[in-house]
Structure 1
Amino acid sequence: MRLHSVAVIAALAMMACGPAEAKSVKLLAVGNSFSNNALWFFKELVKAAGHEPVVGHAMIGGCDFDRHVRHAEAFEKDPADPEGRPYEGKKSLQELLRQDKWEYVTIQQVSHKAPRPETYQPGADRLIAIIRKYAPQAEIVVHQTWAYRDDHPVGGTKGFVSTDDMYRKVRTAYDGFCQAKGFRLIPSGDAMEAARRDPAWGKFVPDPAFDPKTAVYPALPAEKRSLHSGYSWRKDPKSGAFRLGEDKFHANTQGIYLLGCVWFEFFYGTSVVGNPFVPKGLSAGDAAVLQRVAHRVVSEKHRPVPLP
């Protein structure tokens, strides 16, 4: 049944798109683990559509606007200073910006600061100036990060009290920033929220039978319809004991696939519906639902209405 479904998706792709003319989009993402989530399946989706992706990534986990700028300014002062070369291969941001003739450079705020627009400046403007200096030909676009899972303890000093509240504030902050700067927005957070509300996808409900405080390896909760990573066991390299970890902010396979579909439609301007790439761990039916969500949000401009 799965193989048949995949074959149907591939056939629909050919009928809908016809033989695609190969297109190479040159893209550099300046971000963190959230941009890593978005890029994870993006390249495979691009290849499956008959194109060849050219992608660079200036990535540091948990990195905000200010930190990217701090490293870049260290490189400006002393190119030999390791502080100025934090990216893979000991590269500087300036070197990555000059590495190719990028058509697009993406920027984003770190997820926990994204709902608070007062955290964007002055780092965002300084980062924009660096990009324009070293890649003046590139269009700067903004990657909208997403809200955390419903069972994430989102309150406290982060300034939001629920997933609905976080989405509303993330959206307001990014929209205001893009409008002020004249930048386009990659609606990743909108797509994650749209899928969360989509009846065809289904609502995530925390497993009432699972208590993380008393769980014993290898017990894990049912996390059906989650778009976030959730719970997993990790082996302590020193003690050998298994410890339960939780991640309710990064995307899981389903969420990563949705994000890749969003980026595909945004940068290639063609429908992702019917794309034959379906990763291991994702059913063809679920892939089709997520493709449709991405298409509605990106191409049809159906953004979720923020809830009060």
Structure 2
Amino acid sequence: MLSFRKKLSWILFFLAAITTVQAQSSRVSGTVGVRPTPTDTLHLFLIGNSFSQNAARYLPQLAKEGGHPLEIGRAELGGCSLQRHWEHAAAAEANPDDPKGKPYKGKSLRMLLSEGTWDVVTLQQNSMNSADPATYEPYAQKLYDYIKSIQPKAEVVFHQTWAYRSDSNDFSQIAPNTFAQTEKEMWEKSRAAYHTIAQKLGVRIIPVGDAFWKVSSDPTWGYRKDPNFNFKNPEYPSLPGQTHSLHVGYRWTNDQKWGFDSHHANEAGCYLGSLVWYSFLFGESPRELTFTPEQVPADFAVQLRKVAETTQNPVRK
């Protein structure tokens, strides 16, 4: 018969083996938010445009504070749609020397995806088409299959982009030659489109667009257009009040020209997006994080961290 010491040794060996298998299984299945050990590096690859750049701007700082080593790869082009990303990839597959197939600083999507082993690969639609479900296919499916052919163990997820600011002069297309009329309609229609394609592909969603709307629609924390500013005849360097805006909004350029960007995220919006990404990727609440961009007021930052958590985990209050 085995001695007690030998029996205990075999039991400990067996438990260690089970733990190793579970950790490997988690990585292979694409489970995100449950890392085998706190020191494992998460390898994240973004296929997107300026909106993915906005949303992940502060993710490295947040991941560092949370103790999560992070590597980010990128295939991003300004305003790029799913269709355009796919057409570039298809061009490279047809002819590796075709310049159209290497739009990412002289590299193709295959080249970039092959530069490492990626745990998570994100996709998104360009914002102007985000509310029109017809623009997602067949390109989302083609890109999904293409990514999986190169990185079969990666989890593919969709980054749900946000609606334009409430005082925008335009909103996204919801059907050919038909456009949303309000921030709420753009959010509703884009959300529905993202969820439709995600369900079809069986992938998860990073709900940044939902978080933006939670803030924008909040009676206390949402942006409201300044009723006292003369928008028809602005005088340099005066700017309207833009408290709690998540978008760039009104600004003066260096040559004193009046500008307005209701589409892209400002520092607060980039911070909110990164908080949502952090919660999604690492399965942790961002409420305890302390990093805050210098331009974001402390009280607003606290609210953004709360929104990021409750958007990811709706049962938490």
TM-score interval, smaller chain: 0.7 to 0.9
Asked if structure 2 preserves the Cα contact closer than 8 Å seen for 1:274 and 1:288, the reply is no
Matched to 1:169, the amino acid is K
1:191 to 201, 211, 215: 211
Asked if structure 1 preserves the Cα contact closer than 8 Å seen for 2:208 and 2:276, the reply is yes
CA distance in 2, matches of 1:158, 1:227: 25
Q: CA deviation at 1:245?
A: 1.3
1:163 to 153, 158, 183: 183
Q: CA deviation at 1:110?
A: 0.6
Q: CA deviation at 1:58?
A: 0.7
Q: CA deviation at 1:158?
A: 5.0
1:272 to 270, 277, 286: 286
**Residue of structure 1 equivalent to 2:169:** 153
**Residue of structure 1 equivalent to 2:309:** 295
**Residue of structure 1 equivalent to 2:259:** 245
Normalising by structure 2, we get a TM-score of: 0.83
CA deviation vs aligned residue, 1:244-280 (integer Å, no higher than 9, x gap)? 1111111111111010000000000111111121111
- Identical counterparts, % of pairs: 39
**Residue of structure 1 equivalent to 2:65:** 48
Asked if structure 2 preserves the Cα contact closer than 8 Å seen for 1:40 and 1:256, the reply is yes
**Residue of structure 2 equivalent to 1:219:** 238
CA distance in 2, matches of 1:181, 1:71: 21
- Cα separation, partners in 2 of 1:268 and 1:58, compared to 1, 3 Å: same
Q: Secondary structure at the match of 2:88?
A: helix
Q: Secondary structure at the match of 2:117?
A: coil
Matched to 1:57, the amino acid is R
* 2:230 equivalent to 1:203: no
Normalising by structure 1, we get a TM-score of: 0.85
CA deviation vs aligned residue, 1:134-160 (integer Å, no higher than 9, x gap)? 111111100001111110123684521
**Residue of structure 2 equivalent to 1:263:** 277
- Cα separation, partners in 2 of 1:75 and 1:118, compared to 1, 3 Å: same
Q: Which runs of no fewer than 5 residues in structure 2 stay unpaired?
A: 1-36
CA distance in 1, matches of 2:315, 2:100: 41
CA distance in 1, matches of 2:51, 2:257: 24
Matched to 1:159, the amino acid is F
State how many pairs are aligned. Answer: 277
CA deviation vs aligned residue, 1:154-207 (integer Å, no higher than 9, x gap)? 3684521111111110111111111111110110000111112335x5221111
Superposed counterparts of 1:83-122, under 5 Å: 83-88=100-105, 90-122=106-138
Higher radius of gyration, 1 or 2: 2
Matched to 1:113, the amino acid is N
CA distance in 2, matches of 1:209, 1:23: 52
CA distance in 2, matches of 1:287, 1:207: 22
Q: Secondary structure at the match of 1:112?
A: helix
CA distance in 1, matches of 2:184, 2:54: 21
2:247 to 228, 232, 235: 228
CA distance in 2, matches of 1:158, 1:252: 27
Q: CA deviation at 1:127?
A: 1.4
Matched to 1:217, the amino acid is Y
**Residue of structure 1 equivalent to 2:158:** 142
